[in-house]
Structure 1
């Protein structure tokens, strides 16, 4: 499916704008959801066209009370308590499926409770829709004060820049559930989340299904749709996050999976090659470093985040080390932990 649209006719503007719904799954999010909802309250979009639905997924903290307090001040916000499963769904997909059923909007926007979207988010994402585009993905970067947090920022930026470039080559890779929009037509064409097999990466599963149905896609790299999210604080949580992502990515075409493994295992592969042919190994490493630097330079400049260059200089060491560790952890017989719910990894 080519990312360049042969039929670039946008939806009507102003008075004929489509109805939008923002869907948020929330489970024990009392520490982060106030900032999320505050950011949403600052969105710049015509009044009367946007509703916000928050699905309370059996939270044991004050998440529901905090959302209710916001809803009391903002009539377009509604809290929906998720008590049961529909169509055998589990986890986040179950919440989002019920929120989507509750809405009649023309486009469904997805973000997470620990994510803060920018004021121009709805407008920027909407501009990417045409009659043939079924799914649009923005760009999200973790934001935190520690070195570990900054390296996660560079990591996300690098991979999202690559995904953006690949999308222009017509290669669909993935979407991000904390910064994603789907047309109602595309969502219903795949049967919604109810029509998809279970995946711990529900955003990836929805993206793949929509593309397979023949809809076009957009992976944006634009400051107008740049959201921030909470980075993971511990290396253990980091490994569990990677395990969940790698499980979802296992559904990619075989050649893409092979390239991902090659990227993650660069250090041992280069070490083996250096033992066999030092000159070739050094040449490949320099070429890889050049390409990596070019990708980071483009992404940092495009998103106006050049102040992160000092951390980008440390990225190669970070990537060489975390890659093999992530692969080892992925293949360990441990279950995936998401919000204190456990799922099989294989």
Structure 2
């Protein structure tokens, strides 16, 4: 048992070092901007949160090319349309159109077909976008790139928010590290820039209709077809999404996140297995009263995660204090266990009134 614990722990450290090293490999920015960008924002009954993205757009540093914003209404019954109609964004024309279908992929596809420019940027209606977000994504689009992925973290407001910020920091850092290590894993659609012709040749956004996570599915589709994908890190590029306010809503969203097939290359499968087994040894040690096992597994996990978040922080300017990480590692065992049980009991994903699975 001692040999097993230390073998898995050392494997965890090795993976952490590999991902930390990959995070340092920043892609090169483009030298010539394209003809323009169409920012597509699907929305459905978001009048309580739309002010976040509207305020962010009014403060954006604009790139040296035309930009338009297309809001796509996915069947709203609240005051979302009126709120957008009464908003003026300096230097950016706004259009509001009705989705031709039902669901987010259909809304994105409607926006794609109505877009005027050769590059499409997608985000969500409840996002906080730093002033340099748009210019950061735009600066990495060139004639050899098909998709630029940004990074989104949960808003750190409050205790629950700070824990979810660390959770999303680790998830995004692992995703970026895996991608740059040659193993496409996942991406978030609330911070993406697509070449319009590339997404069209891949079948459009509706090619992933039925997936609970259309962003992850379209990223995996483009990666599997050999399209060139970049991840953009850097100070001022981190978008924020509201943290889930309750454990129930957190469980619902995370079930949706993990309800989509992953890109399981041998290295990804090995890494996920090691991550899970070290976490299991930590929990088993706690429950069985084996202090040495729990402490050893915890220290290996903490060190590996610290390597990853520190490398991520050096690239983005988003720092994670060690005491905060320690607290997170101790507390996050409980919601992860509840998520696992919840997923096993009911595999069906329900999101915004729609069922998947």
Structure 1's 148 and 75: CA in aligned 2 closer, same or farther, altered over 3 A? Answer: closer
Deviation, 1:280, is 6.4
Aligned to 2:170: 158
Q: 1:184 aligns with which of 166, 181, 196?
A: 196
Deviation, 1:311, is 3.0
Residue correspondence of structure 1 range 108-187 to structure 2 within 5 A: 108-187=120-199
Deviations 1:216-241 (A, max 9, x none): 21223322311111111010000011
**Greater alpha carbon shift after TM alignment, 22-31 vs 269-278:** 269-278
Deviation, 1:70, is 1.3
Kept in 2: contact 1:3–1:217 (CA 8 A) = no
Q: Distance in 2 between matches of 1:192 and 1:51?
A: 20
Q: Distance in 2 between matches of 1:174 and 1:247?
A: 12
Aligned to 2:301: 288
Q: 2:331 aligns with which of 318, 323, 326?
A: 318
Aligned to 2:45: 28
Whether 1:54 aligns to 2:71 is: yes
Q: Distance in 1 between matches of 2:24 and 2:223?
A: 14
Deviations 1:263-304 (A, max 9, x none): 456544444478699766654432221111222223334333
Q: Distance in 2 between matches of 1:298 and 1:326?
A: 28
Q: Distance in 1 between matches of 2:81 and 2:277?
A: 43
TM-score normalised over the length of structure 1: 0.85
Kept in 2: contact 1:161–1:221 (CA 8 A) = no
TM-score normalised over the length of structure 2: 0.83
Q: Distance in 2 between matches of 1:9 and 1:282?
A: 44
Deviation, 1:121, is 1.7
Whether 1:69 aligns to 2:89 is: no
Structure 1's 72 and 279: CA in aligned 2 closer, same or farther, altered over 3 A? Answer: closer
Give 5+ residue unaligned stretches, structure 1: none
Give 5+ residue unaligned stretches, structure 2: 1-21
Kept in 1: contact 2:302–2:326 (CA 8 A) = no
Kept in 1: contact 2:279–2:297 (CA 8 A) = no
Q: Distance in 2 between matches of 1:258 and 1:72?
A: 47
Kept in 1: contact 2:282–2:293 (CA 8 A) = no
Whether 1:223 aligns to 2:235 is: yes
Kept in 2: contact 1:138–1:179 (CA 8 A) = yes
Q: Distance in 1 between matches of 2:55 and 2:40?
A: 15
**Greater alpha carbon shift after TM alignment, 167-176 vs 128-137:** 128-137
Deviation, 1:324, is 1.9
Aligned to 1:10: 30
Deviation, 1:57, is 1.5
Kept in 2: contact 1:158–1:295 (CA 8 A) = yes
Q: Distance in 2 between matches of 1:268 and 1:319?
A: 13
Q: Distance in 2 between matches of 1:296 and 1:55?
A: 35
Kept in 1: contact 2:285–2:291 (CA 8 A) = yes
Deviation, 1:167, is 2.2
